[in-house]
Amino acid sequence: MNESENNFESLRRLLALKRHEIPPPGYFNSFPSQVLSRIRAGDTAESEEFAGSSWLLRFLQVFEAKPAFVSAFASSLCLLLLLGIVYAERPDGTPKTTLLASVTQPVVSLAEATSSVLSPSSAQTGLMISTNPVLSLESVPSLFGQQNSLVQPQSSLVQSVNFWVPGN
C-alpha cells in the first residue's frame, strides 16, 4: 500500500488544494443559529399541524419503530373478523335468540297497545299518548245536537265488501 501511496503523491498534493476552499467569512458564526431556528420553527409547525391527531401519530410511530407490531395488529384484525364470521354462522347462537326476542317484543307491545286503545277504561282516562290521530269511542256532542256519526255500535263499523270482478 505504501508503494501505491507514493504513486499518488502528486495527486494527494493536488487534493490538498480542496482544504483551502472556504465558505464566505462569518458563515460558521450564523450556521448554528440557523439550524436551531429551523428546529424551533419545525417544532411549532409540527405541534400545530398534528395537535388533533397526536394519538394517531403515536400509534403510527409505534408501527414505524417496531415493525413486528404491524404483523401482530394485522393478525389480530384477521382473527377478529374470522371469529365474527364463525359466530354469526352458528345455528344455535345467542344472537338469533336475542334477535327473536327483540322482534317479538314489539309485537306484544303492539297487541297491548291495540287492546288498550280499544278498551273503554283507558280511553276514558285518556292516558294514551300517540302522535297518530286516535278515534275516540266516547260520544262527542254534535254541534247540531245529534250524536256523532262516528260513534256507532261496533258492529256497524264492520261492513261487508263485495268486489265485482268483470267476466265472472
The answer to the question of residue 58 lying near other proteins (CB under 8 A) is: no
Give the contact letters, 95-134, x = binds to other proteins (CB under 8 A), - = no.
----------------------------------------
CB of 33: closest distance to other proteins in angstroms? Answer: 8
Size of the site for other proteins (CB under 8 A): 31
CB 116 within 8 A of CB 129: no
How many Cβ atoms from other residues are within 10 Å of residue 14's Cβ?
10
Residue whose CB is less far from other proteins, 16 or 158: 16
The answer to the question of residue 62 lying near other proteins (CB under 8 A) is: no
Buried/exposed 35-69: b ≥16 CB within 10 Å, e otherwise: eeeeeeeeeeeeeeeeeeeeeeeeeeeeeeeeeee
Query: What is the C-alpha separation between 134 and 118, in angstroms, rounded?
Result: 10
Cell 256532542, located at residue? 141
List the one residue from 3, 9, 48, 89 that touches other proteins (CB under 8 A): 9
CB of 4: closest distance to other proteins in angstroms? Answer: 6
Give the contact letters, 37-56, x = binds to other proteins (CB under 8 A), - = no.
-xxx-x--------------
The answer to the question of residue 16 lying near other proteins (CB under 8 A) is: yes
Query: What is the C-alpha separation between 110 and 120, in angstroms, rounded?
Result: 17
